[in-house]
Copies of this chain bind each other. A is one copy, B any other.
Amino acid sequence: MENKVSVGLLGLGVVGSGVVQIINEHQEKLKHQLGVTVEVKRILVRNLEKAREVDVDPSLLTVNPDDVLNDSEIDVVIEVMGGIDTAKDYILQAFAAKKHVISANKDLVALHGPELHAEAEKNKCDFFYEASVAGGIPILRGITDGLSSDRIERVMGIVNGTTNYILTKMAEEGATYEAALKQAQELGFAEADPTADVEGLDAARKMAILARLAFSAPVDLDDVKVSGISNITAEDIQNGNELGYTMKLIGYADFKNGELETHVLPTFLSNEHPLAAVKNEYNAVYVHGKAVGETMFYGPGAGSLPTATAIVSDLVAVVKNIRLGVTGEQVVNSYYKKALKDESERFSQYYLRVNVEDETGVFSKLSNLFHEHEISLKRIIQRPNDEKKTAEIIVISHQTSEENFTNLLEKIQKLDVLKEISSYYRVEGDGNE
């Protein structure tokens, strides 16, 4: 062990620039904590001429990946280039060269995490990716270390800042989805092509990573059922608000007795639930441990310096492991077997909004169907539209299985008085359920 750890970066975009800035600004503190100096030795970029957001010696930059991956003096590779195939290839090369790897790449880890871990372990290398989930929130370390003596049973999170910003604006300003998205794009909280965020794919990737670590189970991205927020109306948000619920894009993962349920779905959260108060672009992850009960971790889900802070925290952990000679020993193997819950075992409350003909007895027809399916109702709003001679009925149900609720919807669909099933959503966070 020398008195210096050398780092190579793959990428120098927004996050990479933050990493260089933090390493430079914290030289003294890092040396104090680690007993060694940390040096950025080489940085792979696409374009040597491009202006950078951070002061960096131009001689560190290279367009040749071998200058990072085959430099025997580089101990740790930080991958902040994004993308899947090339990033994976570089990381595998780094492991083969006995370099430790830190990545912020949720797409890659969600898809190929287990394979990359196996390679890391084979080469006695560390592989950390705190920055891949919920940016600046130290949630992965919180799950793997802080709660190491507990059995985590459920994780619920707001893990996508773009959608949370959009839903906050819709709730607070009565904005439509389209208007709120446009505002988010203007402020840089949403991409020009927002698909991965608004359709829930980004959140699903993070949930796959979170669930894998929380449950020590082999969770695949395909296990995460996904629906996005692009069909949510200002009307539904307003209805929820009247009833004491806030619409959030909730990532959910539940694991008991080897049975897994995980999804990313627009969900009405009771205003009493701590996640309901998480606004704008912020993220939060709510963890239910068997012994500890409810805990929540809140913070910025993205941004150059928050994300870079998470990466440098990983770097500190790697350097400590290097000094102790225990790299490649973190436990990430899937310890438990996994079966997916089927829809008869997936329970939830539901919000349902239907449009019906406004005639005598229409509500009892509807409520009879709920009764037949043994679903009891918690809250009801009925609103006539005199002009159209229709009525809108909105209910919040008590808990029922997804199977049961789907069967109910089929029956409602056949009701003679039905004009339209306008919308339905899961409901979470009612304390007494």
How far apart are A421's CB and chain B's nearest CB, in angstroms? 33
Contact A305 B291 (CB under 8 A): yes
For A48, list chain B residues within 8 Å (CB): none
For A279, list chain B residues within 8 Å (CB): 272
Additional 19 contacts, C-beta under 8 A, given A30-B149, A138-B147:
A29-B149, A32-B331, A136-B289, A136-B291, A136-B292, A136-B293, A137-B295, A138-B142, A141-B146, A145-B145, A147-B313, A150-B309, A274-B277, A274-B278, A289-B309, A293-B299, A293-B303, A294-B298, A324-B325
For A272, list chain B residues within 8 Å (CB): 279
Contact A300 B295 (CB under 8 A): yes
The list of the 5 closest CB pairs from A to B, nearest first, reads A138-B146, A149-B312, A295-B299, A277-B277, A296-B298
For A325, list chain B residues within 8 Å (CB): 324
A316: interface (CB < 8 Å): yes
For A149, list chain B residues within 8 Å (CB): 22, 26, 29-30, 309, 312-313, 315-316
For A138, list chain B residues within 8 Å (CB): 142, 145-147, 295
Which residues in A have some Cβ–Cβ distance to B below 8 Å?
18, 22, 26, 29-30, 32-33, 130, 136-138, 141-142, 145-151, 272, 274, 276-279, 282, 284, 289, 291-300, 303, 305-306, 308-310, 312-313, 315-317, 324-326, 331, 335
Kindly report which residue of chain B lies nearest to residue A137, judged by CB atoms: B295
Kindly report which residue of chain B lies nearest to residue A286, judged by CB atoms: B298
**Cα–Cα, bound, A138→B287 (Å):** 12
**Cα–Cα, bound, A291→B24 (Å):** 13
**Cα–Cα, bound, A309→B32 (Å):** 30
A-B contact pairs, 29 of them (CB 8 A): A22-B149, A32-B335, A33-B148, A130-B146, A136-B289, A137-B295, A141-B146, A142-B142, A145-B313, A145-B316, A145-B317, A147-B309, A147-B313, A149-B309, A149-B313, A149-B316, A150-B309, A274-B298, A277-B277, A284-B296, A291-B309, A292-B309, A292-B310, A293-B305, A295-B297, A296-B299, A297-B298, A298-B298, A324-B324
- Cβ-defined partner of A142 (8 Å) among B33, B146, B274: B146
Contact A331 B33 (CB under 8 A): yes
For A298, list chain B residues within 8 Å (CB): 274, 294-298
For A297, list chain B residues within 8 Å (CB): 295-298
How far apart are A306's CB and chain B's nearest CB, in angstroms? 5
How far apart are A112's CB and chain B's nearest CB, in angstroms? 24
For A335, list chain B residues within 8 Å (CB): 32
Contact B146 A313 (CB under 8 A): yes
For A18, list chain B residues within 8 Å (CB): 291
Known: A142-B138, A142-B142, A324-B326. A22 touches B147 (CB 8 A): no
Interface centre among A30, A33, A278, A298 (most CB of B within 10 A): A298
Contact B324 A306 (CB under 8 A): no
**Cα–Cα, bound, A331→B18 (Å):** 25
